[in-house]
Amino acid sequence: MKNIKPILKYFKKYKVALIFLSIIIFISNINYIFTGYLNGVAIEAVVSSNIKLALKCYLIYFILSVVVEIGSRLAFYGMSKVQIMISRTIGYDTFKKVMSLPAYAFEKMSSGEILNRLSNDTEVIVGSVEGLISIFSSLVSSLIILIYIFVNSWFVGLEIIIFLFIYSFVVYFYGKKFKKGNEESKKEYDKLSAISTESVRGVREIKTLGVNKTVINRYAETIRNLFTKSIKVYQDGRDYDVISSFMKILLECGAFMTCAILTYNKMLSTTFFVAMTYYIYRYTWVIENVREFSKTYQSLSVSLGRVNEILFNQKFNDVEYGNVNLLDAKGIIEFKDVTFGYPDEKLLLKDFNITFKPNKKIAVVGSSGEGKSTLFNLITRLFDPIKGNISLDGIDLKLLSEESLRENISIIRQEPFIFNRTIKENFELIKPDITLKEIRKYCKMAYIDDYIMHLPNKYDTLLGEGGVNLSGGQKQRLAIARTLMKNSKVILFDEATSALDNESQEFIKNSINELASDHTLIIVAHRLSTIVDADIIYVIKDGKVFAKGTHKSLLKNCAFYKSLYLSEDKNSSL
C-alpha cells in the first residue's frame, strides 16, 4: 500500500468506469455460486426423476452463463482500454519529471536505468491493474462461497480455512524471494540498457578505438549476470509452482473425500456435494491465479518503487523556479560569495565573487579542474550554489521563471548536442514559426550555410543521433547558429570554437565581436590563443578570482597567467 497509494491519483479520473467494470467482473465471479448450485439441483432432480426441474435449471444456467460471459469479456476489454489511457498518462508524467530532475540525478542514474523506469516499469504498473481487480473480485466471490459452505457444513468450511491459512505462508515465503530476485534482475537490466544505449551512440568511437571486443565482452558479462539472476527467479518459481500444485490437488482430494463421507452419512445433500465440485475448482482456480499473480505482484512492487522515486520526488527533488519574468534584460551577471562543489566532491568555488558586465568580450581562464565550466553550470542553473547567490540584473536566478531564465541566457558547449532531426527541425524546435530565410541568415553568420546548401537535401538533411553525420566543427557551427537565433542577452561560449579550422575560427571570431557590442559575452577558454583579443580576462585559481585584465597586462603582471600562456605556446609548437 505504501507504493500503491501515491499512484492512485491516476485512477481517480476513471473511477466511475473502473467501479462499473469491477462490478461486472465481480458479478461474473459471483455467477459461479449460482451455476454450482443450479447444477447440483439439476442432478438431484434427475436422480428424483424430475426432468422438468433439471431442464429448467440448465436453461437458467445457460442464460446466466451467456450473459455473464459476454459482460465479462466486454468489461475486460473496457479495463484494457482504461489501462492504456492510465499508462500513457503515467508515462507522460514520469517523462516530464525526468526532464525536471536536477543535473546531478543523471550522474547518479545511468541512461539505461532512466529509460527502463520510463518504459518498462510504467507498463508493469498499469498492466497489473486488470489482474489486481480480477484477483480481488475472485477473492470476494470466494469469501461469499465460503460463507455458503459454512452454512451447509462448518466442517468443510473449516477445512478450507486451514488450507488457505497454510497456503498464505507459502505465498508470503516465496513472495519475499521473488521481490529480491526482481530487484536484482532490474539492476542488471538497467546495466544492459545502459551498455546498449552507450554502444549504439558511440559506435564510431568504439570501432576507431579498437575496443569492439571489450564492449562485446562487457555486454556478454552483463547478460551472464542477468541470466544467473533470472535462473534463480525461475528456480524459485518452479519450486513455488510445484508446492502450489501439490496443495491444490490436496485441497481438491481432501474436500471431495470429506464431502463424500458426509454425504454418505446423510450429513450433506447431493445438491451441495455437486455444487462443491464447482466451488472447490473455483478455489483451486483462485489459487492458480494467486500463484501466477504473486510473481507479477513482486515485479509490480519493485516497479512501483522505482517509478514513485521519480514521480513523487522520493529520490530527487525537482529544480524549483521563481515567477519573475525579466523583460529587456541588461545582462549583468553577478556572483556574490558563492561556494560550490559537486555532490560527493571537494569544493571548487569558495566565497567566489565576480561581475560580468554587458557590451564586452569577457574570457575566463585557469588550470584544468579550477571550475571554469562550473561557472556556466551555475549561471544556467544546472546546479545551484551551496552558499551565496547568483543574479541577473540584480535578480537572484532562483527567482526567475524557467522561461525567463532560458530566454535570457544561452550556452554553446564544447561538445554541443544536436537532435536526431533535420537541420531545419533543429531550429524549429526552438522557434516553431521560423522561416528558412531566417535559418539561413543565422547559418551564414556561423559560416555553415555553404556546406548545408551543397548537401543533397540541403536544410532537410537528417543529422542522425547526436549529429553523427556532422564533424565536430560543423556541429559547433550549427550550435552557434542555433544560439544566434535565440538572441539571448547573455551568451556563454564553453570553448565553442575549439573544433573549428583556422579560417572558420577567424570568421566566427568576427561574429562574436559583433555580438559583444550589445550582449554579455562570456567565453570559457581552454586555449588561451583564442581569447587574446578579449576586453577583459579573469584568471581563476583555488576557487577564486586570482587576477583580471587584458592579455597584455596579464602577461606583464600575472606570472600564473604567463605560465599558462607560455605552456600552451610551447605545446603548440612541438
Position 574 scores a pLDDT of 39
Q: How far apart are CA 376 and CA 484, in angstroms?
A: 18
Name which CATH class applies to 4-311: mainly alpha
Task: State the burial class of residue 203 (Cβ atoms within 10 Å of its Cβ: 0-12, 13-18, 19+).
Answer: middle
pLDDT of residue 339: 92
- Model pTM? 0.66
The pLDDT assigned to 391 comes to 93
Mean pLDDT to the nearest integer, 451-471 = 82
Q: Report the DSSP beta bridge partners of residue 435.
A: none
CA distance 191 to 208: 24
d(CA 367, CA 563): 10
For the chain, what is the mean pLDDT?
A: 80
* pLDDT: which is higher, 108 or 335: 335
- 107-139 tens-digit pLDDT: 677 666 777 777 777 777 766 666 666 677 677
pLDDT at 554 over 70: yes
Q: What is the pLDDT of residue 201?
A: 65
Grid look-up 545551484 returns 384
Q: How confident is the model at residue 333 (pLDDT cuts 50, 70, 90)?
A: very high
Domain ranges of the chain: 4-311, 333-573
Nearest Cα residue to 179 out of 116, 252, 240: 240
Which of 84-88, 164-168, 497-501 shows the lowest mean pLDDT across its residues? 497-501
514 compared with 430, residue with greater pLDDT = 430
Q: Where is average pLDDT lowest: 187-201, 423-437, 458-472?
A: 187-201
pLDDT at 205: 62
Burial per residue of 454-480, b for 16 or more beta-carbon CB atoms within 10 angstroms, e otherwise = eeeeebeeebeebbebbeebbbbbbbb
Q: Minimum mean pLDDT among 44-48, 80-84, 508-512, 554-558: which range?
A: 508-512
DSSP letter string, 242-290? HHHHHHHHHHHHHHHHHHHHHHHTTSS-HHHHHHHHHHHHHHHHHHHHH
Non-local (6+) Cβ contacts of 16 within 8 A are none
Mean pLDDT comparison of 2-6, 167-171, 389-393, highest-scoring range: 389-393
Q: What is the per-residue pLDDT across 250-284, written as a single tens digit (0 to 9) for each? A: 888 888 888 888 888 888 888 888 878 777 777 77
Instruction: Quote helix, strand, coil % in the chain, to nearest 5.
Output: 65, 10, 20
pLDDT of residue 78: 82
CA neighbours closer than 13 Å in the CB half-sphere of residue 272: 23
Average pLDDT over residues 541-549: 88
Structure confidence at residue 355 as a pLDDT band (50, 70, 90): very high
What is the arithmetic mean of pLDDT over 152-161? 85
CATH class of 333-573: alpha beta
Q: So what's the pLDDT on residue 295?
A: 63
